[in-house]
Amino acid sequence: MKMLDWADDLILVKQTHKTDDYGNRKAAETLSTIQANKKDMMRNEFYQAAQAGIRPAFLFIIHPFEYDDETIVIYEGKRYTVVRQFQRSDDELELYVERKVVN
């Protein structure tokens, strides 16, 4: 079994809403940088996802204790939407992401 190198910086985006002094709801984001292991999608996984209407770009393996159901990640300056997650083991969580085109 190949050891993971955890060499990729992945930013998790936690979205919350706050109310200002006038009662207006405003979106706020908290960014957390974690170490991940990026994997390119295997051809079979890519086509299976496409049949389900998903266009995944990457698979990231992260530590589950660092993840709090964030739906947006930033990798190399680009925003991606988390489309699927899968718990591989107690120490590894897979995040499948697709390119976020529109906010």
Q: Looking at residue 64, what is its pLDDT? A: 95
**HEC assignment per residue over the chain:** CCCCCCCEEEEEEEEEEEECCCCCEEEEEEEEEEEEEEEECCHHHHHHHHHCCCCCCEEEEECHHHCCCCCEEEECCEEEEEEEEEECCCCCEEEEEEECCCC
User: Looking at the predicted structure, is the pLDDT value of residue 7 above 70?
Assistant: yes
Residue of higher predicted confidence among 84 and 64: 64
User: How much is the mean pLDDT over the chain?
Assistant: 84
Q: Tell whether the model's pLDDT for residue 38 goes beyond 80.
A: yes
Q: Between 101 and 13, name the one with better pLDDT.
A: 13
Give the confidence band of 50 by pLDDT, cuts at 50, 70, 90.
Answer: low
